Amino acid sequence: MRLSEAGELRLVDLLKRRFVKNARGVVLGIGDDSAVIRPRLKNMLLTTDMMVEGVHFDLGWITPFQLGYKLVSVNVSDIYAMGGHPEFMLLDFAAPGYFKQEQFDSLLKGIETALKTYKLSLIGGDISAAERLILSATVTGHTAKILRRSGANIGDFIYVTGNLGDSACGLEVLKRIGRTVMIEKNEKIDFGPGRKTVGPLVRRHLMPVARDPQRFSRRATAMIDISDGLFIDLSRLCKESGVGANIYAGKIPISEELRRTSEYLSLSPLDLAVGGGEDYELLFTAPSDIKIDAFCIGEITGGQLRVIDQKGKNKKINIKGYRHFAL
Amino acid sequence: MRLSEAGELRLVDLLKRRFVKNARGVVLGIGDDSAVIRPRLKNMLLTTDMMVEGVHFDLGWITPFQLGYKLVSVNVSDIYAMGGHPEFMLLDFAAPGYFKQEQFDSLLKGIETALKTYKLSLIGGDISAAERLILSATVTGHTAKILRRSGANIGDFIYVTGNLGDSACGLEVLKRIGRTVMIEKNEKIDFGPGRKTVGPLVRRHLMPVARDPQRFSRRATAMIDISDGLFIDLSRLCKESGVGANIYAGKIPISEELRRTSEYLSLSPLDLAVGGGEDYELLFTAPSDIKIDAFCIGEITGGQLRVIDQKGKNKKINIKGYRHFAL
């Protein structure tokens, strides 16, 4: 059945049935003019992120399930990047009339799966029509300590929580195979260097898992999530902190899967790692005298943003070249 | 300058400059991964509403200023409909590259004007690209007493806070004149029954003002805002309350402007009043023995939804006929 036949009221009923659980702190969930919660006596975090068909995704290579999962991860990542714990979510959903009820169901299943991963409750939203699929979510969270972008100090070390570039390379693979891959059902990918190599990259792009900063948040001085690419997001953190940075190219964590696949695709793994977005790893700074269990990739300076290659040559980082996303 | 030249970072800077005020309860506003607030020790309300070009509006007859104003009103109306006080707002903005910086500025001015009207602070959001203009806002509020849709009791009287149908008729006028009208700059409208008659209808459509329910909220038993039309929204309230209603057609408040203009357009003022959406008046119920300073249009029953015309003839309300908005 197409959504144009189902109608708005029925979709809201469907949402109410699926998501009305009596989660802690929820006074009133989906179905009234507003949701009602009992906020905690802490700092409350609020973030929102929109995903638009044709701009942020292509249904030719992402399934509704994956899209739902990713929407939640992307928003949770912003809560994590403040050192917070995600708690509630509102969903804005707009779709063309030909979008099928099965696709809507599968999108909701993806959202539900991610909500469970992050222990988050869907409490409200808005459903409407559009010419293209549009998703937007607002996620709330709470935290005792706020980790801003602006807290980095000269001399701090710079860390990332995991491999970079995998998501961008996964996207390149998807563009080349030109179809959806049901990774959530363990579908194998017959491409280039083989399924075991390519699979994790594609998964990282389609169903990224946001990084919980719990282990680092007490010690970190500044934090941001890497959504638009290492260099762009580093430049944001440095701008807010009023500092510069030296990044050691050789220390940027690059997966074996990325090395092999980028070689097959004749792409530079380093370019993908510093310029590719959507890895949703965390980038943070911490005092240099503290032991941190993450990848140290450089240090905060009083100068510019510079990258130092493995031969010791150092070059100014020009983020314009990496600004792949401009309105 | 077009937004594609301005770029995302610059737009965020523009937002920060315009909206960073140290509003009460804001720990961190626009510019980090999430906004941070100190919530009040009350019920917290959360609502979101999306407006998509080509579906909810047409830039051929609404200016960016009016659109910004309306976006805020529409969301605030959902907070008011719960008996609440609006407090904070997040904005999702997506636009095509050819959208001009002047248009963006004017949209922000419209938002700012509405924020002042409702004493609300913009604390965060997301900016991205899209093929069409897409706006979504999330508004938070607080309230001691929650006014749900589900509290109506048999015997309660049914009230509306103002004239219905004006917005729908204003839209009909705009479609016929086929251009924008700068009502915010008191531009006159040379159409049919004359500017004094047509102006208020067009204003009601382009820059609706949400109704603060303060005067009624202590006494009301159930409340909803009229966004999709009287009969649709009444049916929602009745469904949630498990009741029926008798509506007296002759008691529905219809403005003199609507009577004259609908006559000129050969439209039925009553059809516009019961089926037309976007008036953003409140629809509520209250015990019959309490004096309420609003328009009483009927009473809650244990039966169906029925409308009684001025000759005393009574007819079942078929909301399907009024469901103008289906996905």
Q: Which domains are assigned to chain B?
A: 3-143 (3.30.1330.10), 149-322 (3.90.650.10)
Among B60-69, B111-120, B139-148, B314-323, the range scoring the smallest mean pLDDT is: B314-323
Q: What is the residue-averaged pLDDT of chain B?
A: 92
**Of A216, A282, A218, the residue nearest A79 (C-alpha):** A282
The pLDDT-based confidence of A314 (bands split at 50, 70, 90) is very high
A320 touches chain B (CB under 8 A): no
pLDDT class for A320, splitting at 50, 70, 90?
low
Residue B217 has a pLDDT of 93
The H-or-E segment that residue A73 falls in is helix A64-80
Q: What is the pLDDT of residue B138?
A: 97
* Cβ-Cβ contacts under 8 Å for A291 (sequence gap 6 or more): none
Residues of A in contact with B91 (CB under 8 A): 48
B44 touches chain A (CB under 8 A): yes
Is B209 or A24 the better-scoring residue by pLDDT?
Answer: B209
pLDDT in tens, B129-149: 899 999 999 999 999 999 999
Per-residue pLDDT band for B320 (boundaries 50, 70, 90) equals low
The answer to whether A274 and A143 are in contact (CB under 8 A) is no
What is the distance, to the nearest Å, from the Cα of residue A244 to the centroid of all Cα atoms in its chain?
25
**What's the mean pLDDT in A185-213?**
95
- d(C-alpha A174, C-alpha A60), whole Å: 9
Instruction: Kindly tell me if the per-residue pLDDT of A62 is higher than 70.
Output: yes
Token pair of B90 as six digits: 């997040």
Identify the H or E element spanning B244: strand B244-248
What is the ipTM metric for this complex? 0.92
- pLDDT at res. A258: 98
Q: Binding site: what residues of A are annotated?
A: 33, 47-49, 56, 78, 125-126, 149, 225, 227-228, 278, 322
pLDDT band at B6 (very low <50, low <70, confident <90, very high): low
**How large a percentage of chain B has pLDDT more than 90?**
82
What is the mean predicted confidence (pLDDT) over A190-202? Answer: 94
| Residue at token pair 């009483």 | B296
Rounded Cα gap, residues A153 and A150, in angstroms: 9
Instruction: Tell me the pLDDT band of B3, cut-offs 50, 70 and 90.
Output: confident
Residues B77-119 pLDDT 10s: 999 999 999 999 999 999 998 899 899 999 999 999 999 999 9
- The answer to whether A50 contacts B136, with C-beta atoms less than 8 Å apart, is yes
* pLDDT in the model for residue B327: 34
Nearest-angstrom CA–CA distance, A291 and A214: 15
CA B193/CA B144 separation, integer angstroms = 46
> Which of A101-105, B18-22, B80-84 is predicted most confidently?
B80-84
Between chains, do B39 and A36 touch, taking CB under 8 Å as contact?
no
The pLDDT of residue A325 is 39
Structure-model confidence comparison of residues A50 and A13, the more confident one: A50
Contact check, Cβ <8 Å, B4/A123: no
Residues A122-134, mean pLDDT to the nearest whole number: 92
